Amino acid sequence: MGHAHAQGFGSRAAGRVLLAAALGACGLRGDEGMWTFDNLPVQRMQASYGFAPDRAWLEHVRLATLRLPGGSGAFVSRDGLVLTNHHIAHAWIERIADAGHDYVKDGFVAQDRRHELRVPGLEARTLMATENVTEALRAAVSAACGTAGEDAARRAILARMIQAAERRTGFASEPVVLYQGGETWIYSYAVHSDVRLVLAPEYGVAAFGREWDNFTFPRHDLDFALFRVYEQGVPYHPPQFLRWARTGLRAGDLTVVVGHPGRTARQETLAQLEATRDVLDPLRLRDLDRQRQALRDFAAQGPEPARLVSAQLLNLENSCKIYRNEIAGLQDVQAMARVAAAERELREQVAADPVLRASAGSSWDRVAEAVRTRLGCARESAMLTGRGSRALAFAQGLVRWKVQAARPESERELGYRSGRDEAQLRAALGFGEVLEAGVEQASLAGGLAQALAELGPAHPLAAALLEGRDPGDRARELVTRTRLLRPEVRRGWIAASPAEVLASPDPMLVLARKLEALAGPYRRLEAASDAVLAEHGARIARARFALRGRTEYPDATFSLRLSYGAVASCPANGTRVQPFTTFGGLFDRADGWGAQAEGGAWALPPRWRLRRPRLDPSTPFNFISSNDIIGGNSGSPVLDRQGELVGLVFDGNLGEIPGRFYYDSQVNRAVSLDARAILAAMTLVYDAPDLVAELLAAP
């Protein structure tokens, strides 16, 4: 990419109506919303950006995009190349690593199509058809029964509808419940199950800055991977694929993100948010902090202990970052005032309508009451989880399963019934590694100390966990005496009968049985509270839907959505951060840290150091935009108004973390990889001219 071409990508004066014009236009803030394709805010988009997609645009994009396990992706060539994030591909790449090849660390570039590597188990789905069955379902349910048994009837009728859809469309179909029950749809997907790895950058540049940089910007991650879909052994020709944009993005340009956002909780009531802010998140954060301290102390013993827990510590840092920023978001006075005002307005509207008042008028109070119930057992529920020990977590999972398995199937809890449930339990418990005794002990000691601090020594759960001992001593005793650190021992217990498990003298299993015996009342309280929250949350949502209908967007449900926005700076780190970063910034950080710092978190792979002179430092690398996204959007294409690919979403910033609960246009930003950086890297670092030609080929 020439220097002159890249210059000035930081601004484009014309071509977009100012963001400010969109603010205050309605209850939504700025570019808020993860919209279903059948219900786009066309007028708002036109008012803000002078653009709204038409039917052909949407059809093309829908057929070109994909749902992947945990994320999103898109077809980007006639021959079925699929673009997604490296972090979505990561675990799959790990699986196909063969002897002598670490494709995660070293990256992978297929020499030609014959060398593309099949990834067993990886599926990609294209949404082929959608059907709104709300009315049909309602009619069928009311014809079939009265109020009693309605739920079971609904499930059965919906299951039949899905089977019918599968027969009719020939595609895998699933229900999509929008607006907390306001609408029910059936979405039908073409499932592609021969997916092969074509190109993956090295982990060191795909996740430059590792977990340290997660949720931050300025950012410098080449977080992409290329797969190819095959059908019957030959490359698949998708009905549509995204063209690579020929003109690059500039600050202020419209960005459309199409993908599968996972879950949001934007309909939660103020009482729920306050409970999360004041009790639940701080409780989790204290537990994580204790765990982190325990592992830091362990790591301080020397280089080998430090190595053993480094990945776990980074994960903990990252979880702490999420909870801290979630709490900070819920402590934002202005944001919470907006949430409170919106709730007040809705309650008044519900109160003013006799029908809605009858169904949902008391729901906010019922939710608040259920929240109080939930908070009453929050500490116990939290302290019932593995306490930092994977061996104890295994023991608890095993005991709960075997206790259920000892009962007749009809008396078992949900999740412990079918053969499929059993297969899932086996998979969850069947991790293969030897557990390191030192790590287990340090982590468990921290977890036990936290239980003691939260519950006090007299609490029955604390008594079971500690048996009156010092947390360190108790952890040492449990970890030294258990045999569950070894995978073959755990495999043996998975195969064992309930009676054998329930009689074992292994101290971890003994403890797990005591905890299982104590857990009942807390689980019942939690289940009762959850049922009320679900029931009255849905009543509120349905009232809201009755009043506002489709002027609003439904909470995310890992189904296809469109979010629009613009490339836009935001305040961070005491200043405003630039909308784009460049390859120059990548090297700035690598140079400025040095290869050794923080375990090589900002060390560049050899190929990047070698090829540095070839690269134009002003090549746009990552950018931020005001699109409203959430986990699951990872790997979503970023499109311009022509529907052409300009970027690839891979993260949000710190201001996106509270996006689970609300969208704040001032600080919430999607973080994306610029499409130009992908091409430059493929051309100048990965020597993949054939693939680049394939991506740039005219359709």
Q: Is 24 in the site for a second copy (CB under 8 A)?
A: no
Helix, strand, or coil (residue 32): coil
204 touches a second copy by CB under 8 A: no
Which residues, 557 to 586, sit near a second copy by CB under 8 A?
A: 569, 572-576, 578-582, 584-585
Q: Does 14 bind a second copy (CB under 8 A)?
A: no
Q: What residues are paired with 620 via a beta bridge?
A: 582
DSSP states of 106-134 as a string?
H-EE-SSGGGPEE-TT--EEEEEEEEE-H
- For position 401 contacting a second copy by CB under 8 A, the verdict is no
Structure tokens belonging to residue 32? 């808020």
Residue 469's SS3 state is coil
CB of 489 to a second copy, least distance (A): 39
Q: Which residues contact 204 (CB under 8 A, 6 or more apart)?
A: 105, 600, 603, 604, 605, 608
Q: 236 near 218, Cβ under 8 Å?
A: no
CB of 22 to a second copy, least distance (A): 16
Minimum distance of a second copy from residue 264's CB (angstroms): 21
In the list 145, 547, 593, 687, the residue contacting a second copy (rule: CB under 8 A) is 593
CA distance readout (Å), 668 to 20, 595, 615, 624, 646: 15, 32, 31, 9, 20
Cβ 209 to a second copy shortest distance, Å = 7
Interacting positions 74-103 with a second copy (CB under 8 A) = none
Enumerate residues 109-128 that contact a second copy by CB under 8 A. Answer: none
Instruction: Answer whether the bond into residue 218 is a cis peptide, omega within 30°.
Output: yes
Count of residues of this chain found to bind a second copy when the rule CB under 8 A is applied: 47
Asked if 215 touches a second copy (CB under 8 A), the answer is yes
565: β partners: 255
When asked if residue 296 is in the footprint of a second copy (CB under 8 A), the reply is no
Cβ nearer to a second copy, comparing 235 with 579: 579
CA distance 45 to 350: 29
Residue 204 Cβ vs a second copy, minimum distance, rounded to whole Å = 15
666 makes contact with a second copy (CB under 8 A): no
Q: Which of 618, 625, 633, 668 binds a second copy (CB under 8 A)?
A: 618
Cα-only R_g, the chain: 26
By beta-carbon proximity to a second copy, the closer residue of 543 and 601 is 601
| From candidates 394, 401, 602, 661, binder to a second copy by CB under 8 A | 602
Quick check: 699 binds a second copy (CB under 8 A)? no
Contact indicator for 90, 108 with CB cutoff of 8 Å: no
Q: Reduced to 3 states, what is the DSSP secondary structure of residue 554?
A: coil
Residue 420 token pair:
């499929």
Number of neighbours of residue 375 by Cβ within 10 angstroms: 15
Applying CB under 8 A, among 100, 505, 520, 592 the residue interacting with a second copy is 592
Residues 246-265 binding a second copy (CB under 8 A) are 250-251
| 282 near a second copy, rule: CB under 8 A | no
Report the amino acid identity of residue 96.
I
Answer for which of 151, 231, 535, 591 binds a second copy (CB under 8 A) is 591
Q: Helix, strand or coil for residue 407?
A: coil
Cβ closer to a second copy: 127 or 654?
A: 654
Is there a contact between 601 and 212 (Cβ–Cβ < 8 Å)? yes
Which of 90, 612 has the CB closer to a second copy?
612
CA atoms within 13 A on the CB side of 201: 31
Ranges within 59-78 binding a second copy (CB under 8 A): none
Question: Concatenated DSSP letters for 478-517?
Answer: HHHH-STTSHHHHHHHHHS-HHHHHH---HHHHHHHHHHH
Among 2, 7, 98, 427, binds a second copy (CB under 8 A): 7
Contact code string over 314-353 relative to a second copy, x by CB under 8 A? -------x---x----------------------------
Q: Please report whether residue 594 would count as binding a second copy according to CB under 8 A.
A: yes
CA 633 distance to own-chain centroid: 8
Least distance (Å) between residue 385 CB and a second copy = 26
Binding site for a second copy (CB under 8 A): 6-11, 13, 209, 212-213, 215-216, 218, 250-251, 321, 325, 569, 572-576, 578-582, 584-585, 587-589, 591-598, 602, 617-618, 620, 653-654
